[in-house]
């Protein structure tokens, strides 16, 4: 639905102006690209790629740069995907074994309790490394900074904990370079950007392209002034702009080529950059021992906080500190690229996460859900911190209710089927079966994105009228595709006695909307 796509874009752009209660915009400009089934369905850019002279003042108006669809953004930690792909290419070439220790390739890596850290642990952020160390300020040159990263002690036992760390990818880049005999920039160019035709993607963009490069932060410590045309991340900058954890600059169109290659199982156009087996390894959760921190060999998986309605075990992506995000949804063959310069002019101007969520939900909501029966279904409110109830008074002879349930919500936004035998004074959970699974408590689930058939046996009541209701309480955080109910039929022991599908007015809807499919 084009209206949902437009709503996604407008919701993103709302953050380029100060919202009520805020002193300034979250970011000055944005580029958004939606693609579905191999076709770009929206590609917009607006706002300002460069507007501020420092954290307090704007540039002269004539020096502002507009954000365009081809504006080049600092991808920040989305760069980690490029390093991960390079590593997997070296695995395919037989130069790296995922299950070997890193120290077997780089002996000094064994220092600091890292003797048993494997390549796989670096890719899944389970190495035990701390999240970050200030390489740029503690060490005088590139050589000493690389050495410091390699010998940094772990703070957790290897394999015992998930902790996202830039050091993992810095060390992986060094490993790929040493095993291949090539620099990281060359590996990325030869193995990714050139075969995929990503003409505006790479490290340290040439100065002739700076009029299309989005500025980032005004930095006083280190004293860099307004960062423009150079990587924002201080450690990556101190490593010459080429590092495993940050440094890539790209456009939405270029990132679309990479996203489509991942959806295609490693190929794009006539070029293959990865085997299908390698792509599967990159997008399959390795961190089953750490619920909520799902991660493949490179990609984050099933992260509702920025994937929104797409979040599922087969949805992957990554975010970048500068305000970038990539969401790739395999079930629908879709992806979202959002590029902002949210650190321009300051990293302290607010979170970009609401825009990330709005961007993902814009495309997710546009992928219409077909009704299970008829041409409409009931949908619970998606407003935060609300309670929705859909109530039906039951005939005396009713013994069973059957309905369709589409459930894509957080566990903190559970759905409950409830009954009352005292005319609504009190409500009790009503057990039911869901596609032959017995449900005995409120549930919140996501990822299936399909209708399921539910069946509930009704309690008996001798005096008061009986009622049944479909209920949900939402918290203030993330939403998925939502809670939908359809095809409600009330039965006695042998037949349908109430077809709610034929007469929706039988339902008392509070917070629910009858929605056209």
pLDDT band at 517 (very low <50, low <70, confident <90, very high): confident
| Residue 412 to residues 117, 287, 353, 383, 427, Cα–Cα distance (Å) | 35, 22, 19, 14, 20
Q: What are the pLDDT digits (tens) for 302-348?
A: 999 999 999 999 999 999 999 999 999 999 999 999 999 999 999 99
Residue 2 sits at φ, ψ, to 5 deg, of: -65, -30
Q: Which of 148, 190, 176, 297 is nearest to 244 (CA)?
A: 176
Query: φ, ψ for residue 258 (rounded to 5)?
Result: -65, -45
Domain 376-516 = CATH 2.60.120.200:
yes
Domain ranges for the chain: 2-79+184-366, 102-175, 376-516
Residue 235 has pLDDT above 90, yes or no: yes
Q: Which pLDDT does position 416 carry in this prediction? A: 98
Q: What is the Cβ-side half-sphere exposure of residue 89, based on CA atoms within 13 angstroms? A: 22
pLDDT per residue over 444-472, tens digit each?
A: 998 889 999 999 999 987 777 899 999 99
> Domain 2-79+184-366: which CATH class?
alpha beta
Q: pLDDT by residue (tens digit) across 178-226? A: 999 999 999 999 999 999 999 999 999 999 999 999 999 999 999 999 9
Residue 1 pLDDT:
81
Nearest to 119 by CA among 192, 184, 175: 175
Distance CA 280, CA 94 (A): 18
Q: Among residues of the chain, what percentage have pLDDT more than 70?
A: 100
Out of 36-45, 238-247, 364-373, least confident range: 364-373
Q: What is residue 150's predicted lDDT score, i.e. its pLDDT?
A: 99
- % the chain with pLDDT above 90: 93
pLDDT single digits (tens) 465-505: 899 999 999 998 877 899 999 999 999 999 999 999 999 99
117: helix, coil or strand?
Answer: coil
Placement of tokens 């709005």 in the chain: 358
Residue with structure tokens 């770009």? 40
299 has a pLDDT exceeding 90: yes
pTM, to two decimals:
0.93
- Each residue's pLDDT tens digit, 55-108: 889 999 999 999 999 999 999 999 999 999 999 999 999 999 999 999 999 999
Q: State residue 273's pLDDT score.
A: 99
Per the DSSP assignment, residues forming a β-bridge with 325 are 319, 338
At 428-448, the pLDDT tens digits run 999 999 999 999 999 999 888
Give the list of residues 6+ apart from residue 270 with CB closer than 8 angstroms, or none.
none
- State the DSSP string of 134-193: -HHHH-SSHHHHHHHHHHPPPSS-TTS-----HHHHHHHHHHHHHHHTS-HHHHHIIIII
Spatial distance between the Cα atoms of 267 and 366, rounded to a whole number of angstroms: 27
Q: How many CB atoms neighbour CB 225 within 10 A?
A: 12
Pseudo-torsion of CA 296, 299, 304, 308, nearest 10°?
-140
Confidence of residue 166 (pLDDT cuts 50, 70, 90): very high
Maximum distance among all Cα pairs of the chain, rounded to whole angstroms: 84
**pLDDT, tens only, 377-427:** 999 998 989 999 999 999 999 999 999 999 999 899 999 999 999 989 999
> Over the stretch 5-48, which tens digit does the pLDDT of each residue have?
999 999 999 999 998 988 899 999 999 999 999 999 999 999 99
> What pLDDT is recorded for position 264?
98
pLDDT of residue 365: 93
How far apart (Å, rounded) are the C-alpha atoms in residues 405 and 259?
A: 32
């Amino acid at each position: 639905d084009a209206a949902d796509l437009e709503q996604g874009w407008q919701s993103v752009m709302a953050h380029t102006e100060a919202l009520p209660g805020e002193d300034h915009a979250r970011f000055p400009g944005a580029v958004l690209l939606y693609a579905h089934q191999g076709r770009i369905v929206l590609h917009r850019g607006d706002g300002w790629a460069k507007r501020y002279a420092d954290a307090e003042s704007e540039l002269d108006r004539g020096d502002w740069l507009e954000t365009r669809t081809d504006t080049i953004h600092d991808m920040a930690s989305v760069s980690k995907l490029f390093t991960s792909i390079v590593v997997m290419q070296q695995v395919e070439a037989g130069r790296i074994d995922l299950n070997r220790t890193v120290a077997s390739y780089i002996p000094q890596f064994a220092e600091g309790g890292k003797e048993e850290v494997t390549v796989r642990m670096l890719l899944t952020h389970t190495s035990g490394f701390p999240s970050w160390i200030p390489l740029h300020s503690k060490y005088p040159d590139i050589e000493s900074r690389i050495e410091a990263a390699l010998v940094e002690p772990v703070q957790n036992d290897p394999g015992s904990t998930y902790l996202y760390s830039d050091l993992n990818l810095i060390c992986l880049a060094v490993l790929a370079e040493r095993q291949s005999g090539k620099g990281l920039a060359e590996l990325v160019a030869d193995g990714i950007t050139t075969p995929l035709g990503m003409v505006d993607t790479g490290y340290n963009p040439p100065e002739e392209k700076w009029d299309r490069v989005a500025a980032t932060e005004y930095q006083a410590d280190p004293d860099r002034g307004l960062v423009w045309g150079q990587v924002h991340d201080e450690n990556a900058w101190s490593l010459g702009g080429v590092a495993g954890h940050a440094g890539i600059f790209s456009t939405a169109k270029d990132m679309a080529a990479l996203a489509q290659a991942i959806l295609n199982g490693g190929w794009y156009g006539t070029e293959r950059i990865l085997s299908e087996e390698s792509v599967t390894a990159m997008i399959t959760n390795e961190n089953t021992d750490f619920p909520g921190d799902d991660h493949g060999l490179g990609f984050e998986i099933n992260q509702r906080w920025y994937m929104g309605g797409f979040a599922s075990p087969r949805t992957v992506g990554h975010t970048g500190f500068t305000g970038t995000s990539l969401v790739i949804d395999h079930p629908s063959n879709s992806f979202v690229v959002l590029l902002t310069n949210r650190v321009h002019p300051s990293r302290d101007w607010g979170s970009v996460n609401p825009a990330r969520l709005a961007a993902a939900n814009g495309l997710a909501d546009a992928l219409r859900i077909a009704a299970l029966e008829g041409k409409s279904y009931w949908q619970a409110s998606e407003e935060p911190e609300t309670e929705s109830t859909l109530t039906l008074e039951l005939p005396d002879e009713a013994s069973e209710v059957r309905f369709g349930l589409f459930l894509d919500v957080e566990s903190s936004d559970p759905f409950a089927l409830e009954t009352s035998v005292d005319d609504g004074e009190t409500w009790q959970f009503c057990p039911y079966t869901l596609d032959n699974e017995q449900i005995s408590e409120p549930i919140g689930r996501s990822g299936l994105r399909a209708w399921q058939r539910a069946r509930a046996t009704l309690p008996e009541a001798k005096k008061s009228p009986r009622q049944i209701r479909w209920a949900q309480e939402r918290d203030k955080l993330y939403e998925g595709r939502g809670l939908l109910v359809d095809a409600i039929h009330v039965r006695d022991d042998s037949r349908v006695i109430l077809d709610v599908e034929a007469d929706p007015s039988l339902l008392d809807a509070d917070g629910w909307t009858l929605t056209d499919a």
